[in-house]
């Protein structure tokens, strides 16, 4: 490792004077010539991230010739997320995302974001939630009735099917047939897998005529054709429904444009902008919500004492029926389980920003063009912020728990002006699904199957299978779930890339992911 790798506060190739350094920032150990830290990232990305805080609040890493600054401290993360003008969307991940979703809400630069947010926000207003929640309940009810006693389910596949159906009907209304929805789900999976791979390989390689590249391009073209056709049909029919697309088409921006905004007052979204927003919702809202639900079911299957308490809550509130929006205020344990799931296994485990002007972060002067990395997974697994960080403990989020969670130590939905716009949508979807499953089914691991985290576009659980056993309807006077102090889990699961053998063995506000807006 060279002195430049260890101490330089600027990206390789910058001509910033060394006298501008206010502090010394170390590089992560283990960098190799030419490839940098790519080997460590490929072998165990989660373990690599967890190791970085011991080297400082800011740590340099290299992927090939690309150098990036990883932010390990929550106060510095807050600074980055709140100053979205200086720390704008950018870096390899977002550069590739723009190739797919265009200039949508999750990927657009700061200059376009405020107008887009004003136009999109009304579609996610709380007054719209009852209509969305009704569709959620109907699809959750249908899915949980389709299982049979003793069935082994592929959890991620089931949850992806559920979240795709919910998102397509809330976004498009009834514009897609079941067969078209199935094709859409397959294409989304192919495209999301391609995004991650393209963020790590040189651009020329993704243009080679390999089978994987052809599948990716074909799936992406079908997705765009589908969204453009539906937008055109909605325009032609002058649709007047309650779906997201209809609301987006009706939105008008009446605010005076800022100096860096170009659209005239009163303008709505063009067809191209609608296509970008819909692609953002599909690619950002399907996998993240399904991943959060899958991890929640995984942790519950491995922690029977928590699952039994959830059964008691569901019996008291639901009595065997599917959950509705009106039930959510009484599903307190459900909310804590989801929050703890998102802390332990955040679907959005890493994202980037890029500096648009010279700035200072934690005493380090950064030139324009510096790639800054933020990892919710890293912050969520710091033992000084979350004691026993590898343990699944929903009671750490109970109001009476001491000490309370550290400020800015929960990053599952980003923060600042770019915080996830679909957080309430996602929380509602996940809470309705999780409580309905608990009301009807007991969950247990399937012996001989392995579950392991698979870091990609989202942090998915690979190989997760669970056996569902039908539960009897509860008596009318079912007891309330016991409130207990923080308890240790029944069987902790390693959070890194190591294999997990499955044999026998909020804070207020955070919510599972809807469409990404990081």
User: Strand 359-361 vs strand 364-366: parallel, antiparallel, or unpaired?
Assistant: antiparallel
Q: What is the pLDDT of residues 132-181, one digit of tens each?
A: 999 999 999 999 999 999 999 999 999 999 999 999 999 998 888 888 88
Rounded alpha-carbon distances, angstroms, from residue 31 to 10, 72, 85, 317, 351? 17, 19, 32, 54, 21
What pLDDT is attached to residue 176?
85
> Cα(247)–Cα(168) distance, rounded to whole angstroms?
14
Q: In sequence order, what are the beta bridge partners of 501?
A: 450
> Cα(29)–Cα(259) distance, rounded to whole angstroms?
44
Count of other CB atoms within 10 angstroms of residue 16? 16
Rounded to a whole number of angstroms, the distance between the first and last alpha carbons of the chain is 33
What pLDDT is attached to residue 258?
64
The answer to whether 92 and 195 are in contact (CB under 8 A) is no
> Cα(358)–Cα(86) distance, rounded to whole angstroms?
8
Cα torsion 503, 461, 432, 223: sign: negative
Rg (CA), the chain: 23
Rounded alpha-carbon distances, angstroms, from residue 170 to 104, 165, 166, 275, 434? 18, 9, 6, 16, 19
Given a cut of 70, the residues of the chain with pLDDT beneath it are 1-22, 196, 198-203, 238-239, 256-265, 474-518
> Cα(467)–Cα(447) distance, rounded to whole angstroms?
10
* CA dihedral of 383, 387, 390, 391, whole degrees rounded to 10: 180
What pLDDT is attached to residue 351?
93
User: Strand 371-374 vs strand 66-71: parallel, antiparallel, or unpaired?
Assistant: parallel
The domain defined by 1-102+349-380 carries CATH number 3.40.50.10540? no
> Cα(412)–Cα(65) distance, rounded to whole angstroms?
29
Token couple for 515: 């469409």
Q: What share of the chain is helix, strand, coil (3-state, %, to 5)?
A: 50, 10, 40
- Cβ contacts of residue 237 below 8 Å, gap of 6+? none
SS (H, E, C) 172-227: HCCCCCHHHHHHHHHHHHHHHHHHHHHHHCCHHHHHCCCHHHHHHHHHHHHHHHHH
CA contacts within 13 A on the Cβ side of 454: 16
User: Strand 450-455 vs strand 500-501: parallel, antiparallel, or unpaired?
Assistant: antiparallel
CATH node for 116-348+381-501: 1.10.630.10
* Angle, in degrees to the nearest 10, between helices 129-146 and 155-172: 150
- Cβ contacts of residue 33 below 8 Å, gap of 6+? none
> Cα(118)–Cα(507) distance, rounded to whole angstroms?
27
Q: Taking the model in full, what pTM does it have?
A: 0.86
Q: Where are the domains of the chain?
A: 1-102+349-380, 116-348+381-501
Nearest Cα residue to 106 out of 251, 268, 285: 285
């Amino acid at each position: 490792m060279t002195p430049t790798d260890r101490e330089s506060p600027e990206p390789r190739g910058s001509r910033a004077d060394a006298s501008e350094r206010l502090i010394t920032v170390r590089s992560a150990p283990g960098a190799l010539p030419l490839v940098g830290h790519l080997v460590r990232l490929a072998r165990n990305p989660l373990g690599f991230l967890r190791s970085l805080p011991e080297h400082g609040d800011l740590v340099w890493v290299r992927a090939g010739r690309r150098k990036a600054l990883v932010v390990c401290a929550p106060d510095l993360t807050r600074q980055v997320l709140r100053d979205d003008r200086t720390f704008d969307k950018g870096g390899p991940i977002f550069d590739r995302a723009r190739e797919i979703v265009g200039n949508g809400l999750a990927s657009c630069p700061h200059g376009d974001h405020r107008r887009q947010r004003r136009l999109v926000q009304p579609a996610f207003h709380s007054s719209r939630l009852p209509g969305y929640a009704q569709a959620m309940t109907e699809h959750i009810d249908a899915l949980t009735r389709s299982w049979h006693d003793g069935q082994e389910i592929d959890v991620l596949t089931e949850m992806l099917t559920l979240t795709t159906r919910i998102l397509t009907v809330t976004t498009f209304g009834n514009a897609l047939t079941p067969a078209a929805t199935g094709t859409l789900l397959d294409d989304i999976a192919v495209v999301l897998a391609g995004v991650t791979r393209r963020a790590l390989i040189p651009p020329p390689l993704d243009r080679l005529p390999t089978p994987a590249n052809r599948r990716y391009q074909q799936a992406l073209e079908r997705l765009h054709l589908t969204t453009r056709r539906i937008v055109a049909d909605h325009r032609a029919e002058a649709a007047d429904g309650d779906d997201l697309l209809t609301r987006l088409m009706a939105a008008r921006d009446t605010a005076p444009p800022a100096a860096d905004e170009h659209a005239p007052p009163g303008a709505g979204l063009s067809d191209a902008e609608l296509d970008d927003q819909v692609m953002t919702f599909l690619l950002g809202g399907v996998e993240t919500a399904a991943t959060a639900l899958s991890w929640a079911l995984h942790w519950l299957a491995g922690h029977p004492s928590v699952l039994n308490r959830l059964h008691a809550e569901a019996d008291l509130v639901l009595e065997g029926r599917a959950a509705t929006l009106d039930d959510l205020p009484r599903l307190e344990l459900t909310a804590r389980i989801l929050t703890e799931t998102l802390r332990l296994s955040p679907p959005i485990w890493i994202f980037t920003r890029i500096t648009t002007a010279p700035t200072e972060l934690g005493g380090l002067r950064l030139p324009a063009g510096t790639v800054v990395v933020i990892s919710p997974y890293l912050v969520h697994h710091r033992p000084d912020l979350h004691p026993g960080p590898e343990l699944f403990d929903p009671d750490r989020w109970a109001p009476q728990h001491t000490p309370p969670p550290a400020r800015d130590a929960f990053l599952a939905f980003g923060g600042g002006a770019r915080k996830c716009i679909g957080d309430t949508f996602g929380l509602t979807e996940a809470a309705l699904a999780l409580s309905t499953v608990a009301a009807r089914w007991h969950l247990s691991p399937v012996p001989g199957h392995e579950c392991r985290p698979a870091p990609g576009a989202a942090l998915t659980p690979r190989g997760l299978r669970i056996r569902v056993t039908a539960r009897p309807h509860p008596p009318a006077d079912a007891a309330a779930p016991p409130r207990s102090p923080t308890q240790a889990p029944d069987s902790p699961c390693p959070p890194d890339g190591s294999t997990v053998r499955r044999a026998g063995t909020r804070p207020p506000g955070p919510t599972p992911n809807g469409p990404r807006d990081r």
